[in-house]
Structure 1
Amino acid sequence: MSFASSVPLTLACARAGILAGWQGGPATSLAEFERYLVDLGRIEDAPAIVNLPARSAADDWGVPRLAMLERHRAPLVLSSVGDPSRMVERVHGWGGRVIQDVTTMRHAEKAIDAGVDGLMLTCAGAGGHSGFLTPFAFVPAVRRIWDGLLIVGGGIADAHGIAAALALGGDLACMGTRFIATPESGVTGAHRDMIARVGMDRIVVSAAMNGVPANWIRDSIEDAGLDPATLPATRTTMPEGVRPWRDIFSAGHSVGLIDDIVPVEDVAESLIATLASLLPEAQWRQRLCELDEQWMR
Structure 2
Amino acid sequence: MALPDILSRLRLPVVGAPLFIVSTPELVIAQCKAGIVGSFPALNAREKPGEPVMLEAWLAQITEALAKHDRDHPDRPAAPFAVNQIVHRSNARLERDIEICARWKVPIWITSLGARPEVNEAAHACGGIALHDIIDDRFARKAIEKGADGLIAVAAGAGGHAGALSPFALVREIRDWFDGPLLLSGSIATGAGVLAARAMGADLAYIGSPFIATEEADSAPEYKQMIVEGRASDIVTSALFTGISGNYLRPSIVRAGLDPDALPQAGDPMSFAGGSSKAKAWKDIWGAGQGIGAVKAVEPAARMIDRLAAEYAAAKERLLTS
Common fold: TM-score over 0.5: yes
- 2:309 aligned to 269, 272, 275, which one? 272
**SS of aligned partner of 2:44:** coil
Q: Deviations over 1:28-58 (max 9, x none)?
A: 23611110111122224121110002347x9
Distance in 1 (CA, whole Å) between partners of 2:231 and 2:165 is 21
- State the one-letter code of the partner of 1:156: I
Sequence identity percentage? 34
Counterpart position of 2:291:
254
Do structure 1's residue 14 and structure 2's residue 32 form an aligned pair? yes
Range moving further from structure 2, 1-10 or 170-179: 1-10
Judge conservation of contact 1:217–1:249 (CA < 8 Å) in 2. Answer: yes
Range moving further from structure 2, 152-161 or 76-85: 76-85
Distance in 2 (CA, whole Å) between partners of 1:243 and 1:72 is 28
Assess, with a 3 A threshold, how the Cα gap between structure 1 residues 245 and 271 changes in structure 2: closer, same or farther: farther
Q: Counterparts of 1:147-186 in structure 2 under 5 Å?
A: 147-186=179-218
Distance in 2 (CA, whole Å) between partners of 1:39 and 1:176 is 22
Distance in 2 (CA, whole Å) between partners of 1:7 and 1:128 is 20
Assess, with a 3 A threshold, how the Cα gap between structure 1 residues 262 and 245 changes in structure 2: closer, same or farther: farther
Do structure 1's residue 48 and structure 2's residue 70 form an aligned pair? no
Do structure 1's residue 190 and structure 2's residue 222 form an aligned pair? yes
Segments of 5+ residues of structure 1 without an aligned counterpart are 237-241, 281-297
Judge conservation of contact 1:187–1:246 (CA < 8 Å) in 2. Answer: no
Range moving further from structure 2, 214-223 or 39-48: 39-48
Distance in 2 (CA, whole Å) between partners of 1:185 and 1:138 is 30
Distance in 1 (CA, whole Å) between partners of 2:291 and 2:22 is 16
Judge conservation of contact 2:115–2:132 (CA < 8 Å) in 1. Answer: no
**SS of aligned partner of 2:130:** strand
Runs (4 or more) in structure 1 with deviation over 2 Å come to: 242-246, 277-280
Q: Deviations over 1:8-29 (max 9, x none)?
A: 1101101111111111212223
- State the one-letter code of the partner of 1:203: I
Assess, with a 3 A threshold, how the Cα gap between structure 1 residues 220 and 60 changes in structure 2: closer, same or farther: closer
Distance in 1 (CA, whole Å) between partners of 2:86 and 2:22 is 17
**SS of aligned partner of 2:53:** helix
Assess, with a 3 A threshold, how the Cα gap between structure 1 residues 131 and 120 changes in structure 2: closer, same or farther: same
Segments of 5+ residues of structure 2 without an aligned counterpart are 1-18, 68-77, 269-278, 318-322
Distance in 2 (CA, whole Å) between partners of 1:83 and 1:19 is 22
Judge conservation of contact 1:210–1:244 (CA < 8 Å) in 2. Answer: no
**SS of aligned partner of 1:262:** coil
Query: When the two structures are aligned, how many residues end up with a matched partner?
Result: 276
Do structure 1's residue 76 and structure 2's residue 108 form an aligned pair? yes
Judge conservation of contact 2:198–2:204 (CA < 8 Å) in 1. Answer: yes
Structure 1 length as normaliser, TM-score?
A: 0.88
**Superposed CA RMSD:** 2.0
**SS of aligned partner of 1:25:** helix
Range moving further from structure 2, 88-97 or 132-141: 88-97
Q: Counterparts of 1:1-297 in structure 2 under 5 Å?
A: 1-29=19-47, 31-42=53-64, 43-44=66-67, 45-55=78-88, 60-235=92-267, 243=280, 246-279=283-316
Deviation at 1:267, TM superposition (A): 0.8
